[in-house]
A = this chain, B = another copy of it.
């Protein structure tokens, strides 16, 4: 916590102008906003009234809004409806919206706040829900009480499809996790949960038609249909569609564990992840299509959303290549290769999905000229692939660039625009086919304790990209607002901030975690898919996610700010000593940190692998201080010394214990700026 506080304090060093006239704390930034003068008081007499028809979803939304306002402010509030003349917030909602929420349904709202009253107008509850979240973000303490600044907002999303994929297969996510993430999504105006429900590692939905799926394919970890129905109502109440995904014909081991006769080779199939044994459905025989029809039929009635995702990605060649009958089938049907076979499967699958009144969605690989134009393509490959699909008449979603499990900084996701690259050159009609995007939270290396910290707060940057005008793109503004949003999400029960200290305490086996936190605050988990499982597995199925790489935040705020300050220092543009003092303060703290941390690391096996990082943090900090002294005095330092320090920098920029020491690159800059002998 300590360094985080220093970080935030140092924002004023970075942007004094912003500190003087703070931006409104809104994320995503509204389409249109005009500041008024004065503010509307929000006190315990706050009341809401709805004019127009009654709507249960709307009423529940208002009740949740009042609960959330009460939590944020610590004031008990009256839940009874007021009369229209005296209410603080008047809501005008034209109708109840579609029975099943649809992409493209009107989500716009207008919020008018004057010193005497707020008015929220929307076509349906979706717009009202968005407007209420905007209102909550605006509530802040002022010298005279809680208040909302006078403002006039006219807001609507840029894209109709703003999603998050959660993978409940690799690690099962209890309902509580799913619900709190729905709450977070609603807070950021996202509107689609893409629920990855079947994969090699598990089939996570109760099937009444095909009960072996959960009995044999789930290791006992699945959602009952009753739970799913309750969850779907929960999501709908919050303006969020739920699109299920059932992976075929690859990523289907859990199906084959239950029904081995559908596989491309004879069973049995051992459950769980088996890297060396890629599997696929045998898509040449009728029994597979009978199974698919039964499964899709049942799931189509369980999930009301108009879209159904069938996966379709990463079908390995091996299983089909090694079955002569399948190769014979390809030959007999004049197909070129396995890709043609998958297209054949997708055509038949699409007919099944259509017959059950759903629109089929699949990953990039499903794209094939023989597929009907109704199919929606989700691109993990990028804007060019998306643009190519749009040109062919397919609607598409961008996920490339939005994989939050890659542990990228928020600014990198934020810079990814669905309409950039080849997509920028599309005709207006083609461009409309790009429905939006989806962030993806694959769960190989997250569990219920860590998943929130891998989704939040970075997802808010993607949410803003998909909602706000394209020119809202300043990363500095984004980071400032994201810091506020991150804390604000805590009131919704998300654990991305609250689990940090307990996890560090577990690592330490102690409450005295100051030195450990100093280290944890400047490391980040390795990027992309480079994580290695360094512990022996033996009889153990799951590697525990209880290491520093699991506790560390995906993005080190301290390192990010430190790096900006070093740039200012080296450019000589910073206003005198404040920047230098802040840099030296950190370096001095880190320089002595390893001495404090070492005894703890000796006591806890969980920290053993992190010792080199701690040593290097202290060594590099000494080097950084020496470099600053030399730079200030315009003196050289011995080349041998500099070479030695740069070697430490180099090894710090490579993954160790699945971590990167994020202050190494700015310290490298300091070393390089020392005058040469």
Contacts of A544 in B (CB 8 A): 44, 73-76
Bound complex: CA A74 to CA B2 (Å): 25
Contact B487 A603 (CB under 8 A): no
Q: Pick the interface stretch among A26-34, A92-100, A135-143, A269-277.
A: A135-143
Contact A5 B2 (CB under 8 A): yes
Contacts of A505 in B (CB 8 A): 487
Contact A483 B511 (CB under 8 A): yes
Which residue in chain B gives the minimum CB-CB distance to A544? B75
Q: Is A490 an interface residue (CB 8 A)?
A: yes
What's the nearest-Cβ distance from chain B to residue A614, in Å? 16
Tally of this chain's copies: 2
Bound complex: CA A501 to CA B8 (Å): 15
Contacts of A141 in B (CB 8 A): 506-509, 603-606
Contact B74 A546 (CB under 8 A): yes
- Once A44-B544, A539-B45 are accepted as A-B contacts, the answer to whether A502 and B490 lie under 8 Å apart by CB is yes
Contact B546 A602 (CB under 8 A): no
What's the nearest-Cβ distance from chain B to residue A364, in Å? 33
- A595-630 vs B: 1/0 string, CB under 8 Å? 000000011111010000000000000000000000
Q: Is A534 an interface residue (CB 8 A)?
A: no
Q: Is A145 an interface residue (CB 8 A)?
A: yes
**Interface of chain A residues 506 through 525 with chain B (CB within 8 A):** 506-514, 517
A–B Cβ pairs within 8 angstroms, 6 of them: A1-B1, A5-B513, A9-B514, A44-B544, A76-B544, A142-B604
What's the nearest-Cβ distance from chain B to residue A474, in Å? 19
Which residue in chain B gives the minimum CB-CB distance to A10? B512
Instruction: Return the contact of A502 from the options B4, B76, B487, B512 (Cβ within 8 A).
Output: B487
- Once A45-B540, A540-B44 are accepted as A-B contacts, the answer to whether A484 and B511 lie under 8 Å apart by CB is yes
Bound complex: CA A11 to CA B511 (Å): 12
**Interface of chain A residues 537 through 554 with chain B (CB within 8 A):** 539-542, 544-546, 550
Bound complex: CA A1 to CA B1 (Å): 6
**Interface of chain A residues 443 through 492 with chain B (CB within 8 A):** 447, 449, 483-484, 486-487, 490-491
Which residue in chain B gives the minimum CB-CB distance to A70? B544
Q: Is A581 an interface residue (CB 8 A)?
A: no
Contacts of A146 in B (CB 8 A): 605
Contacts of A605 in B (CB 8 A): 141-146
Bound complex: CA A501 to CA B490 (Å): 11
Bound complex: CA A283 to CA B449 (Å): 56
**Interface of chain A residues 110 through 154 with chain B (CB within 8 A):** 140-146
What's the nearest-Cβ distance from chain B to residue A340, in Å? 42
- A405-447 vs B: 1/0 string, CB under 8 Å? 0000000000000000000000000000000000000000001
Contacts of A511 in B (CB 8 A): 4, 8, 483-484, 486-487
Bound complex: CA A76 to CA B491 (Å): 28
Which residue in chain B gives the minimum CB-CB distance to A74? B546
Q: Is A578 an interface residue (CB 8 A)?
A: no
Q: Is A503 an interface residue (CB 8 A)?
A: yes
What's the nearest-Cβ distance from chain B to residue A533, in Å? 13
- In the A-B complex, the 4 residue pairs with the smallest Cβ-Cβ separation, listed nearest first, are A74-B546, A5-B514, A1-B1, A141-B604
What's the nearest-Cβ distance from chain B to residue A373, in Å? 45
Contact A142 B5 (CB under 8 A): no
**Which of A8, A11, A502 counts the most B-chain CB atoms under 10 A from its CB?**
A502
Q: Is A6 an interface residue (CB 8 A)?
A: yes
**Which of A447, A501, A517 counts the most B-chain CB atoms under 10 A from its CB?**
A501
What's the nearest-Cβ distance from chain B to residue A143, in Å? 6
Other than the given A73-B506, A141-B507, A143-B608, 13 more pairs (CB < 8 A) read A1-B501, A5-B513, A5-B517, A11-B512, A74-B506, A74-B546, A75-B544, A76-B544, A141-B508, A142-B509, A483-B511, A487-B511, A490-B502
Bound complex: CA A109 to CA B7 (Å): 50
Q: Is A209 an interface residue (CB 8 A)?
A: no
Q: Is A72 an interface residue (CB 8 A)?
A: yes
Which residue in chain B gives the minimum CB-CB distance to A449? B74
Contact A602 B45 (CB under 8 A): no
Contacts of A602 in B (CB 8 A): 143
What's the nearest-Cβ distance from chain B to residue A523, in Å? 18
Contacts of A498 in B (CB 8 A): 498
Contacts of A491 in B (CB 8 A): 502
Contacts of A546 in B (CB 8 A): 73-75
Bound complex: CA A604 to CA B514 (Å): 29
What's the nearest-Cβ distance from chain B to residue A42, in Å? 12
What's the nearest-Cβ distance from chain B to residue A608, in Å? 7
Contact B143 A604 (CB under 8 A): yes
**Which of A145, A449, A484, A510 counts the most B-chain CB atoms under 10 A from its CB?**
A510
Contact A506 B72 (CB under 8 A): yes
